[in-house]
């Protein structure tokens, strides 16, 4: 049986800027981009994405406070923030005590991963900038890129936080548009007027980047992935971003697996919040709650 047709479609306003999330979404699946930014369909939380949102907001509060106190939040304060985010968005009470409920299981594992990160990894981080807003332009792209960096530490490393039920592949950062945007955004901020409109910053200004993946499990763990981008990486990023911008302009919004030579990777659909309404989904709606998905992207 095919899923119900998409309803509740609203007309999107003219595009004024790209964000790292928009670039990453289109690169993942142009049809997902259409659902989210053109048709503006609501994207309900999944257990995995809500864990990511709750941890993201808690770590933001932690590092904002740490800039002034030089200390991480006590565990009970961090868990209170996590609980407030969870209660705003979860479909039922967090203390339902049903071990077979995916929301209850996600809640418990998310709290455990957060506590592990704060006690085992966060102490080494000295925040310089938290949720830092940036803007830069790309050659041949008609819109600026606007976004927010999770954290820049005291030595200038750009750090992003992710949650996942399994470690990321070691090559994750090689093709990640989101973290590349963060690095370029902070570089443009550092370089200031030395970057002319329509140009990317010199590799000299590009900072080291890092992703801390909070791997949810029993026990939880932290995976650290690090990279530094060179001139060739910047060139490839510019070409890829220009190709995405052209696809958006030309309204090319087919499902990712319909592209020539593309693989039908069901995991892409499994991590998508529109799987229950998408006629091109490669998985059933019931699989969404069981997904090993990532945190989902907080809009920049």
Question: How many domains would you assign to the chain?
Answer: 1
Angle between helices 47-69 and 75-89 (to 10 degrees): 140
Domain contains 31:
no
Entry pTM: 0.87
Domain contains 15:
no
What's the pLDDT at 300? Answer: 59
Domain contains 169:
yes
What's the pLDDT at 291? Answer: 45
Q: Report the helix count and the strand count for the chain, using DSSP H and E.
A: 8, 5
Domain contains 159:
yes
DSSP 234-278: HHHHHHHHHHHHHHHHTT----GGGSTT----HHHHHT-TTTTT-
In which domain, by residue range, is 89 found? 45-247
What's the pLDDT at 283? Answer: 86
Q: What is the distance of C-alpha 115 from the center of its chain? A: 21
127-136 β-sheet, strand order: 127-136, 145-153, 158-164, 209-215, 221-227
Domain contains 237:
yes
- Tens place of pLDDT for every residue, the chain, 300 residues? 345 445 445 555 678 999 999 999 999 999 999 999 999 998 888 888 999 999 999 999 999 999 999 999 999 999 999 999 999 998 866 555 566 788 999 999 999 999 999 999 999 999 999 999 999 999 999 999 999 999 999 999 999 999 999 999 999 998 899 999 999 999 999 998 888 888 899 999 999 999 999 999 999 999 999 999 999 999 999 999 999 999 999 999 999 999 988 888 888 888 888 888 888 998 876 665 444 455 555 555
CA distance 108 to 83: 11
What's the pLDDT at 1? Answer: 39
Domain contains 252:
no
Domain contains 25:
no
Domain contains 7:
no
Residue bearing tokens 């973290």: 179
CATH number at residue 232: 3.90.320
- Residues near 263 by beta carbon (within 8 Å), at least 6 away in sequence: 257
Angle at 147 between CA 159 and CA 227, to 5 degrees: 30
């Amino acid at each position: 049986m095919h899923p119900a047709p998409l309803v509740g479609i609203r007309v999107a306003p003219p595009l004024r800027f790209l964000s790292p999330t928009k670039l990453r979404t289109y690169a993942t699946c142009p049809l997902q981009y259409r659902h989210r930014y053109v048709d503006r369909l609501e994207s309900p939380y999944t257990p995995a994405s809500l864990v990511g949102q709750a941890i993201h907001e808690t770590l933001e509060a932690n590092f904002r406070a740490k800039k002034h106190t030089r200390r991480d939040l006590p565990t009970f304060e961090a868990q209170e923030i996590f609980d407030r985010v969870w209660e705003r968005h979860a479909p039922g009470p967090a203390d339902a005590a049903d071990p077979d409920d995916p929301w209850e299981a996600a809640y418990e594992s998310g709290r455990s991963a957060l506590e592990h990160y704060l006690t085992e990894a966060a102490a080494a981080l000295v925040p310089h900038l938290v949720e830092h807003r940036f803007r830069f332009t790309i050659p041949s792209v008609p819109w600026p890129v606007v976004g927010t960096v999770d954290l820049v530490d005291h030595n200038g490393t750009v750090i992003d936080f992710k949650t996942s039920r399994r470690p990321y592949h070691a090559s994750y950062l090689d093709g990640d548009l989101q973290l590349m945007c963060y690095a370029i955004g902070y570089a443009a901020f550092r370089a200031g007027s030395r970057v002319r409109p329509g140009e990317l910053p010199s590799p000299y200004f590009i900072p080291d980047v890092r992703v801390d993946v909070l791997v949810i499990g029993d026990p939880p763990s932290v995976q650290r992935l690090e990279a530094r981008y060179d001139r060739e990486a910047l060139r490839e990023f510019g070409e890829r971003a220009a190709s995405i911008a052209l696809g958006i302009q030309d309204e090319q919004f087919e499902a990712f697996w319909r592209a020539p030579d593309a693989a039908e990777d069901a995991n892409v659909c499994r991590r998508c919040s529109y799987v229950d309404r998408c006629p091109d989904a490669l998985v059933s709606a019931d699989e969404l709650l069981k997904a090993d998905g990532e945190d989902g992207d907080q809009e920049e």
